[in-house]
Structure 1
Amino acid sequence: MSNQQETSPVAQPDPIPAPTGIVVGIDGSEQSNCALIWAAREAKARQVPLHLVTAYTVPIFAASGLDGGYATVDDDVIRQGAEAVLREAAGKVSEIDVELDARVENGDAAGVLLELSETAELLVFGTRGRGGFIGRLLGSVSSALPAHAQCPTVTVPLSCAARLGADASVKPPVIEKVVTVGVDGSDEARYAVLVAAEQAERSGLSLRIICAVHPYTGSLSWMPAPVDRDSLFAEIQEQLDAGEKWIRNHFPKLDIDVQLIEGTPVDVLVKASETTELLVLGTRGRGGFAGMMLGSTTDGVRHHAKSPIMVVKDREDPRQDDRAAFGPLLQA
């Protein structure tokens, strides 16, 4: 695999083939720098190309005065600024041996990244960026991408700067060598477990599966009638044990830990994010005794997590076909 120094860090006028590796959104902010470092290391680990992308739109201003009309900013000037941002970004990962290319796209940032997600293996971006000519690449855009991207997405918060070595002034936190995944019994969560297991196995990490259940008060709106707490937790644990046997069957060499935790799902997962290498969630879940772990919870976790968050869109996987053979499933 060639080093990125052999490739121009600025997109060329000729059409560039659709990306098949990892795409990372760049806008020059600290948030996108964190995303860039994480994406470059992940591309090296997966032995796939890394694609740096920034997008912009040409602003149009309404003229005032006697002469009505509209004025536009010079497209060449904006593009040159965007190219400079990409050159600077490429320099930040120059020591990582990964095949790299970069492109400047003219258009809506969300639309550009969503289109690239159709062929990309992974889409990576920061939690929030800055405005300006790059079109708020990592601001509101980052909220729309996980639910609509055609490939898994990874959001890298600015709080990861210390653990990634991007902020030398802050002491890195102690991080466990583990990939954590939240489950709630939905099909989306089961597929997320498979993706998390693949990530853990590829990275040489262990897998932690967490099911969080809202604290029992004896009268919860999502329960049809008061139930015995111990019986409830015993039932959930039985189904989690069956799920553990299922995932161990597909990943026999993987170190797996399953935890049933009483607590608000967002709080439990945000707490877990403080010490995990990566937190994996599905795009949406369903209700039931697991308390709608995924869905609105995914957004809540992404806004407060301390680790990179991988959001996995549900898709059919033949490995799910034999899940029922290992015991009862979590039911909504």
Structure 2
Amino acid sequence: MEVFGMSIPSSSEHTNPGVVVGFDGSPHAIDALYWAAQTAALRNAPLTVASAFVFPYSDYIRSMSGAQVEDPARRLAEDKLAEARKLLAEQRYPGEVSYRALIGDATDWLVKLSADAQLIVVGRRGLGKFWGRVLGSVASALPAHAHCPTVIVYSADDDDVETKGIATTPDTRPVAVGVDGSDHARSAALVAAHEAKRLGVTLELIQAQPHFTGTSTVWYLASNEKMEQQIHEDMMSSLMSEMQFLQHEVPGVEISPVVQRKIPAEAMIDCTERAQLTVLGTRGHGGFASLLLGSVSRTTLSHARGTVMIVPLAKK
């Protein structure tokens, strides 16, 4: 297949990219590279480092030269991959690594690679960031279109903060997943359960619902406390059913059900601060079915204070 003047293997020729990380040399991308390397090693999976660039004057250069010349975007990508190779060598990363220099839009390429990947990993922002923007364009667009789970690795906004390298001590913080009874949440919960078991940590099963508001409703609840208690019990009953399902599907995983009486996005943002990984489905029960990424997932990504995984609906 020929794309942007560069030949790439077909899906059948390149069926096991394993954990794929998008890399552009930015501080956020370096943190994503280390996270992806550690995860690939834990999964005993290959690591694929992909770097994609578009050079805006490629067509002009070719037209002026009158000859077939190398696209400058390819050189940019190869330079970044050389940097990634050096970083992994410095960390003495022992796993299998492949490097892909790609010409074209980074999001488009990562979506293509996600068809065969176990995970797609990116940093919060890349080199093409706008000052003050919370989430970069790739991290914003990719989770809605990827065929496999997408991980947006959290790192500080301050460019002066040094990257931490590949972690050498186990992270004992839990994995958290938001559930609401939807098929999307079920897919996310299954992936989260496998991640928690693989990491040897507790899975927090979070269901959130805000308190009722409005004068008449508040008055009614104040005079009828049993309703508030019933709501809590119903939510806990739902979580216990989900927990039994997950423990049947993923034996040995330790699960802690948590009921939160707050706005779901707020509850999940809070989770990102205490969990090593917060997992969400692309959509829940709310919103419009036509939306590729639901409001809770989108809001959590935009304001996360930790690493987030977005899981697409499992294909039946």
1:301 equivalent to 2:300? Answer yes
Q: Distance in 2 between matches of 1:248 and 1:61?
A: 54
1:233 equivalent in structure 2: 232
Residue 126 (structure 1) shift: 0.9
1:186 equivalent to 2:182? Answer yes
Q: Distance in 2 between matches of 1:15 and 1:90?
A: 20
> 1:82-121 counterparts in 2 under 5 A?
82-94=77-89, 95-121=92-118
Q: 1:71 to 1:273 in 2, by over 3 A?
A: farther
> 1:134-213 counterparts in 2 under 5 A?
139-159=136-156, 166-167=163-164, 176-213=172-209
Q: 1:81 to 1:214 in 2, by over 3 A?
A: same
Q: 1:77 to 1:20 in 2, by over 3 A?
A: closer
1:20 equivalent in structure 2: 17
Contact 2:286–2:294 (Cα < 8 Å) also in 1: no
Q: Distance in 1 between matches of 2:76 and 2:105?
A: 17
Residue 177 (structure 1) shift: 2.9
TM-score (norm 1): 0.75
Contact 1:175–1:276 (Cα < 8 Å) also in 2: no
Q: Distance in 2 between matches of 1:124 and 1:158?
A: 13
Identity of aligned pairs, percent? 36
Q: Distance in 1 between matches of 2:197 and 2:162?
A: 24
Q: Distance in 2 between matches of 1:220 and 1:50?
A: 57
Gaps of 5+ in 2: 1-5, 130-134, 288-292
1:31 equivalent to 2:28? Answer yes
Q: 1:167 to 1:198 in 2, by over 3 A?
A: closer
2:246 equivalent in structure 1: 247
Residue 20 (structure 1) shift: 2.9
Q: Distance in 1 between matches of 2:112 and 2:286?
A: 31
Residue 265 (structure 1) shift: 1.6
Q: Distance in 2 between matches of 1:143 and 1:220?
A: 39
Contact 2:122–2:151 (Cα < 8 Å) also in 1: yes
1:124 partner amino acid: V
How many residues were matched structurally? 280
1:82 partner amino acid: A
Q: CA RMSD of the aligned region, Å? A: 3.3
- Give secondary structure in 2 for the equivalent of 1:55: strand
2:249 partner amino acid: H
- Give secondary structure in 1 for the equivalent of 2:156: helix
Gaps of 5+ in 1: 1-12, 64-69, 133-137, 169-173, 289-293, 318-332
- Select 1:79's aligned residue among 65, 70, 74: 74
1:91-122 CA-to-partner distances (Å, cap 9, x unmatched) read 21221211001111111221111111111111
TM-score (norm 2): 0.78
Q: 1:237 to 1:114 in 2, by over 3 A?
A: same
Q: Distance in 2 between matches of 1:198 and 1:167?
A: 25
Contact 1:160–1:307 (Cα < 8 Å) also in 2: no
